[in-house]
Amino acid sequence: MTSAVSPPRFDVTYQGQPGAFSEDAAFDFVPRDARLLPSRTLQDAFQAVARGEAAYAIVPVENTLAGPIDETYELLSRNDLAIVDETVQPICHCLIAPKGSQPADVRRVLSHPIALAQCAGFLRSHPEWEPVPAFDTAGAVELVLREGVSGDAAIGSARSAAVYGGEILMEGIQDHPENYTRFVLLSADPKRGTPRPANGALKTSLSFRVRDAARRESGVLRPFVECGIPLANVLSRPLGGPDAESLYHLDFIGSVESEAVQKALERIRRGATCMKILGTYPLRVASIREVIRPAR
């Protein structure tokens, strides 16, 4: 008698509480029977996958208004998780308060500092409101609705209002409509990805360090240009210290298995103090600046 084969686990952890934008992004990947597991911090999400408590983590890497999420890139450099897919989500902020509230009742507005910054112009138009930083957007919504303090409101997603039973007083209050966040799906197994698009196009992410002297003496990115490899995203920052190094994070179009990419990476390794391939995964959007919603 043979035992039934268990289906593969598809439980996904994300930073924040139910109703968070990261949870919204997870719905681009998970089947209906998947478990969504909230983590308090980004580091907690990484560790949950590393310890086998979750099969995947969904984390933000960059936003069209706020730029790169430095903490995510730092965690990618320090952990052995692989990027296996990506998605881009529109970020629409709402002003949320307990049922029956009116905008004239508001005195304090709670939310994550980035959300407050993305709605700074809107908040300045209401100088009578006090912005109050909170740990995350959905957490701020949950707190405001649970405690029911008169005059308190929160900035969060429309779904967080539905999750916690709040009233949307105003919708689309972010200062710029082009507010999108790119998220990546992480796994401890680089081969444990999602179905690849029909066109087979792939993207690869990597990080490497170079000494500043080497960076000045040669074009760090020249191997990619000379090998005809399109770069989708380039981030760099100085690390300082006695070695005076700079850290680069790159996204390029192509697979590490291609001959041209192998040639470019070999040339990069000659001048790098270390290099780490962060993952090869389906190309959903060439660049977040194109603001293309993935087709699924």
User: Do 105 and 152 have their domain in common?
Assistant: yes
User: What pLDDT score does 172 carry?
Assistant: 95
pTM of the complete model: 0.87
In tens, the pLDDT along 226-282 reads: 999 999 999 988 876 666 788 899 999 999 989 999 999 999 998 888 999 999 999
The CATH number covering residue 123 comes to 3.40.190.10
Work out the average pLDDT over 145-167: 96
What pLDDT, on a 0 to 100 scale, did the predictor assign at position 236?
A: 87
CA dihedral 87, 92, 93, 98 (to 10 degrees): -100
Which DSSP string corresponds to 260-279?
HHHHHHHHHHHHEEEEEEEE
The answer to whether position 100 is within a domain reads yes
Q: What is the pLDDT of residues 127-155, one digit of tens each?
A: 999 999 998 899 999 999 999 999 999 99
Task: Look at residue 195 and tell me if it is in a domain.
Answer: no
Q: Is residue 120 part of a domain?
A: yes
Same domain, 183 and 74: yes
Residue type, 73: Y
Residues 49 and 183 reside in one and the same domain: yes
Check residue 293 and give its pLDDT.
42
Q: In which domain, by residue range, is 35 found?
A: 12-89+179-187
Whether residue 4 lies inside any domain: the answer is no
Are both 73 and 100 inside the same structural domain?
no
Position 1 scores a pLDDT of 40
Query: Is residue 68 in some structural domain?
Result: yes
Same domain for 156 and 103, yes or no, is: yes
183 and 77, same structural domain? yes
CATH of the domain at 246: 3.30.70.260
Same domain? For 81 and 183 the reply is yes
The answer to whether residues 73 and 101 belong to one domain is no
Q: pLDDT tens for residues 6-62?
A: 445 679 999 999 999 999 999 988 877 788 999 999 999 999 999 999 999 999 999
The helix/strand/coil state of 233 is strand
Share of the chain above pLDDT 70, in %: 88
List pLDDT tens digits, range 193-222: 655 655 678 999 999 998 875 555 457 889
Closest CA to 18 of 165, 168, 171, 185: 165
- pLDDT(3) > 50: no
Split at pLDDT 50, 70, 90, the class of 190 is confident
Q: Do 64 and 124 lie in a common domain? A: no
Q: What is the pLDDT of residue 250?
A: 93
Which of 187, 212, 243 is the last residue before a domain boundary? 187
CA dihedral 114→118→124→125, nearest 10 degrees, is -140
Within-domain flag for 143: yes
Write down which residue in 158, 187, 216 finishes a domain.
187
Query: What DSSP letter does each residue of 149-199 carry, written as one string?
Result: -TTEEEEE-HHHHHHHT-EEEEE--SS-S--EEEEEEEESSTT---PPPTT
Is 153 part of any domain? yes
DSSP 1-34: -PPPPPPPP--EEEESSTT-HHHHHHTTT--TT-
Reported as a single tens digit per residue, the pLDDT across 55-98 is 999 999 999 888 899 899 999 999 999 999 999 999 999 999 99
127 with 239, same domain: the answer is no
Together in a domain, 157 and 270:
no
Among the three residues 137, 155, 187, which one is the final residue of a domain in this structure?
A: 187
Asked if residue 227 and residue 123 are part of one domain, the reply reads: no
Q: What is the mean pLDDT of the chain?
A: 88
Give a yes or no: residue 78 inside a domain.
yes
Question: How many domains does one find in the chain?
Answer: 3
Alpha helix locations (H) across 1-136? 21-26, 42-50, 70-78, 113-118, 120-124
Residues annotated as part of the active site: 181, 183
pLDDT for res 215: 56
